[in-house]
Amino acid sequence: MLRYALKRLLSLTLSLAIASLVIFAVIEVAPGDPASFMLGVNAQPDTLAALRAELGLDVPKTERYLTWVGGMLTGDFGTSYTYRTPVSQMIADRMWVSLPLALYALTLSTLIAFPAGIYAASRRGKPGDIAVMGATQLGVAVPNFWFAMMLVLIFAINLRWFNAGGFAGWDKGFGAAMQSLTLPAIALALPQAAILARVMRSALLDVLGEDFMRTARAKGLSHRQALWRHGLRNALIPVLTIIGLQFSFLLAGSIIIEQVFYLPGLGRLVFQAISSRDLIVVESVVMLLVFAVIMVNFVVDLAYAAVDPRLRSRT
């Protein structure tokens, strides 16, 4: 297991190095100069040159890349061009919104999808299975931003159970903060739950047709006992893949939901930084999200090896 983990860790490090190069190159070649954007089109050349020097934009790109990577390794992401505050502090402030939102949505998604997928697989071809598959098809088809607006209309405007937007803050108490995240989490969770339920059903149906399941039934186990004791564990590998991908998506891809609910998260930070050409913020946040995605995949790979020891012997 240790050898397998070390190989995956080496692959993770290489992926991060390549990702940092790609992110820096793509963002740096994007049109628009941050200093020109901040000063406007009528800025004097000497003023523009002074601001570029102050922001560190006058040094070669190779040196800027090495400085950026070296700073990230020590926790220093640089200083925002627009806000003149440390990028690490800006990320930390918004991570306290985006990370709980992603975990909240993933928890809801899993709690909905697992029972729905298991129920549908155990009643294949019956009305219950058809109903679950119909509901999941609808969940996949409906855009989450439209669903988010419907949640606001029903539960915030009409029923007044929740606020229409904004984040109360953790200093107002755990309950108030979680209430602010509930509607966004539901809007993010339901489409992901639909996908996960379909994957769970498909994986379980594949496992139920295996020889070892027929052997378990022949030894006297009921259908339900064989499903819970042997089927569910062997169906987890594709499900773990989807859960890992979903967490990465929920953390990095919630920009639209954050805009709908006016949440001060990472997605909104990236949107504002792109609008103001704050390159150092965009680079740092995107790199952090890539790191999160790769780390999640690393953890999922280790979970694979724990669930199915055969994977360890193949590497």
Tell me the whole-structure pTM to 2 decimals.
0.79
pLDDT band at 32 (very low <50, low <70, confident <90, very high): low
pLDDT digits (tens, 9 = 90+) for 190-249: 989 999 999 888 888 877 766 666 676 666 666 666 666 666 777 777 787 788 778 878
Q: Which of 87, 91, 57, 139 is nearest to 267 (CA)?
A: 91
pLDDT of 107 reads 93
Asked whether 180 and 96 are in contact (CB, 8 A), the reply is no
> What average pLDDT does the chain have?
82
Between the alpha carbon of residue 165 and those of residues 130, 206, 258, 311, the distances in Å are: 36, 43, 9, 46
Give the domains, in start order, of the chain with CATH numbers. Answer: 90-313 (1.10.3720.10)
pLDDT of 185 reads 92
pLDDT of 5 reads 74
Q: What is the mean pLDDT of residues 110-137?
A: 88
Q: Residue 90: pLDDT above 70?
A: yes
pLDDT of 289 reads 83
Strand, helix or coil for residue 79? strand
- Residue that wins the pLDDT comparison between 248 and 113: 113
pLDDT of 169 reads 83
Name the range with the highest mean pLDDT among 181-195, 199-213, 258-272, 299-313. 181-195
59: Cβ–Cβ under 8 A, 6 or more apart, which residues? none
pLDDT digits (tens, 9 = 90+) for 48-65: 788 778 777 778 888 888
Q: Residue 258: pLDDT above 90?
A: no
Q: What is the mean pLDDT of residues 250-267?
A: 82
pLDDT digits (tens, 9 = 90+) for 156-170: 888 888 888 888 888
Distance of alpha carbon 219 from the chain centroid? 43
The amino acid that residue 61 corresponds to is K
Longest Cα separation, the chain: 86
Q: What is the mean pLDDT of residues 143-165?
A: 87
pLDDT of 205 reads 80
Q: Residue 312: pLDDT above 60?
A: no
pLDDT of 217 reads 66
pLDDT of 101 reads 92
- Residue that wins the pLDDT comparison between 113 and 5: 113
Q: Helices 174-208 and 144-151, interaxial angle, to 10°? A: 140
Distance of alpha carbon 9 from the chain centroid? 20
pLDDT of 48 reads 74
